[in-house]
Structure 1
Amino acid sequence: MNTKANPKPKILYSCYYARSREGEHFIPEHVFSYQISGEMIASDSKNTYHTKAGDFRFSKRNHLAKFTKIPPEEGEFKTISLFLDQEILREVSKEYDFKATKKADTKAMITLAPNPLYKSFMESLISYLEIEQENNEALFNLKIKEAIHLLLKVNPELKDILFDFNEPGKIDIEAFMNKNFHFNVHLHRFAYLTGRSLATFKRDFQKTFQQTPGKWLLNKRLQEAYYLISQGNPPSEVYIGVGFEDLSHFSFSFKKKFGIVPSSLKEK
């Protein structure tokens, strides 16, 4: 992978030469993206989203989603993404008195209809991305604000998403975890999304499942993997899908629990 950006970028230009399913599955900030080439398939606990070359998408903060990045044949997967952080959005909200007036759609992603204003804006960013972002924070903040105003002009319905500054409220931990156990995120992400501190999350989790989160997640992911492999799915595809990062760790854990390696189960 070649990424021209800071470790914590505001604007990111990404190139992938091979199919990729890496990375944490939590979206911490709203993201406005342009798919230059290749395809991306994303999924949350309910929906699957398919983005092709030339498409624009809006990813909403505080969602869990998995991403598969697919470069074109003999080409590169390329995207430009702008991270619309809460600090800048609050500045815009205060300056222009923009406020959310109703609860927005709960989908993790929105495909935006093609628009020449979006395309010209994204194409104009490429030259900016050659600049070191750490020395040009003011410049990039201006481009983020420009993107926010552009989104409001072309898709005014996004106002209720962009300027909703509420944090996740306390929800049923059992239902949430059974839907989202396969997302590979740290426990503090699960805690935050269920409206709890990490300490409260661990305490409530123990009361609900009579197990620690780490032990429950491992067992749940392995049980799901066992089922999927027994249905003919290859272990090399299953392990990421159920929330493991590393194939060797998955194989070791699988054998420890079930007494056989994953490939043996598929051969049965």
Structure 2
Amino acid sequence: MKQVTIPNDILTNTQDINLVHYQSEINLNKSKVAFSQYVFSFLIEGQKQIHNTDGLLSIDSNEFTLITNPVCLMTEKKGQDSNRYRSCLLTFNDKILHDFKQKYQIKQPPSPTELCKNVLKFKYDNYTRNFRASLEMLPNQHLSQEILTIKFQEIMLYLVQKEPRLLDSFLSQHHSNLETQFRYSVENNVYSNLSLEELAFLCNMSVSTFKRYFTKFYSTSPHKWMANQRMDKATELLSQDKRPSEIFVMLGYKTLSNFTRAYKNHFGALPSHLSSERSLANE
């Protein structure tokens, strides 16, 4: 599927800060999406799943997000009642963020001990629902940068007070070196049902570059390492009296037969064999 860049592929004239009224009447599954700016996504109708280097994040119409990373795989599902997906997107660049920090003298938080999450998720409350409604009333085009900047400052000031821990991680923009970020991305998606191409996309790399770095950091191939991790986890779960049918999805396999075949290729026995041995031992 073709990659979509937000907001560039939606708006004809992208500025420092932009408002997009987005609506779709089709479901999208793991579409490749790139972001040229930071994005507040205020979900109105439907559900969304964001697959990125943090793993899989599910968002419903009671939540909104701040997306801070450059790429993700996006799944959009229509609302059951309205049969459509709808959201307001407020996109902004580094200049807008810098000006906000300067104007309100936002102090740099102490260096955080953890990475800034690629997607920050917030629950709607009365204030943020009203804020979203105010965005819905604004026109999509021919809106002054001053008005949008004021709206951006409004939501940021509110969230700085309401959710200081989440906002601090974003405002400090603490990012790690390449190896740490690469390992973080891979290990958060061990049990995700992602192809090698999709995982490379989330790391913002070509497949060949991804394989090269993987071998450098893990001293083995992606396929072999992933298989070992999944089989180790499968053994752990089966030893806890879990059935193969209960665990294949959480291990990242599409079907039970795919999991059974992978397990037999790895261990030379069916996963049900271990389950049976455990049952006999407990009798």
Q: Does 1:66 align with 2:76?
A: no
1 CA distance for matches of 2:204 and 2:58? 29
Question: Counterpart of 1:6?
Answer: 11
1 CA distance for matches of 2:167 and 2:184? 30
CA RMSD of aligned residues (A): 4.5
Q: Is the 8 A contact 1:152 1:159 kept in 2?
A: yes
Q: Does 1:48 align with 2:56?
A: yes
Using the size of structure 1 for normalisation, the TM-score is 0.59
Which residue, 122, 130, 133 being the options, matches 1:112?
A: 122
Q: Is the 8 A contact 2:41 2:67 kept in 1?
A: no
Q: Secondary structure at the match of 1:121?
A: helix
Q: Is the 8 A contact 2:46 2:79 kept in 1?
A: yes
Change (3 A) 1:40 1:65: same
> Any stretches of 5+ residues in structure 1 without a counterpart?
193-199, 211-215, 221-226, 234-268
Which residue, 141, 144, 166 being the options, matches 1:131?
A: 141
Change (3 A) 1:189 1:107: closer
Q: Secondary structure at the match of 1:10?
A: strand
| 1:98 to partner: Cα distance | 0.9
Q: Is the 8 A contact 1:57 1:109 kept in 2?
A: no
| 1:18 to partner: Cα distance | 1.1
Change (3 A) 1:25 1:186: farther
| 1:84 to partner: Cα distance | 4.1
Q: Secondary structure at the match of 1:130?
A: coil
| 1:30 to partner: Cα distance | 4.0
Question: Counterpart of 2:238?
Answer: none
Question: Counterpart of 1:223?
Answer: none
| 1:125 to partner: Cα distance | 1.0
Change (3 A) 1:130 1:60: closer
2 CA distance for matches of 1:232 and 1:17? 34
Change (3 A) 1:45 1:191: closer
| 1:80 to partner: Cα distance | 1.2
2 CA distance for matches of 1:155 and 1:202? 38
1 CA distance for matches of 2:124 and 2:254? 40
Per-residue CA deviation, residues 96-122 of structure 1 (Å, 9 max, x unaligned), is 221342415654334323311111111
Per-residue CA deviation, residues 181-201 of structure 1 (Å, 9 max, x unaligned), is 948679797469xxxxxxx99
Q: Does 1:18 align with 2:23?
A: no
Per-residue CA deviation, residues 172-230 of structure 1 (Å, 9 max, x unaligned), is 557755766948679797469xxxxxxx99986786699xxxxx89xx9xxxxxx9567
Identity, % of aligned pairs?
14
Q: Secondary structure at the match of 1:42?
A: strand
Using the size of structure 2 for normalisation, the TM-score is 0.57
Counterpart residue identity of residue 68, structure 1:
T
Counterpart residue identity of residue 130, structure 2:
S
1 CA distance for matches of 2:87 and 2:176? 29
1 CA distance for matches of 2:120 and 2:84? 24
2 CA distance for matches of 1:132 and 1:168? 39
Structure with max Cα Rg: 2
Q: Secondary structure at the match of 1:163?
A: helix
Q: Secondary structure at the match of 1:153?
A: helix
Change (3 A) 1:49 1:6: same
Change (3 A) 1:167 1:52: closer
Q: Does 1:93 align with 2:98?
A: no
Question: Counterpart of 1:121?
Answer: 131
| Aligned pairs for 1:215-230 within 5 A | 228=253
Change (3 A) 1:174 1:34: closer
Question: Counterpart of 2:171?
Answer: 163
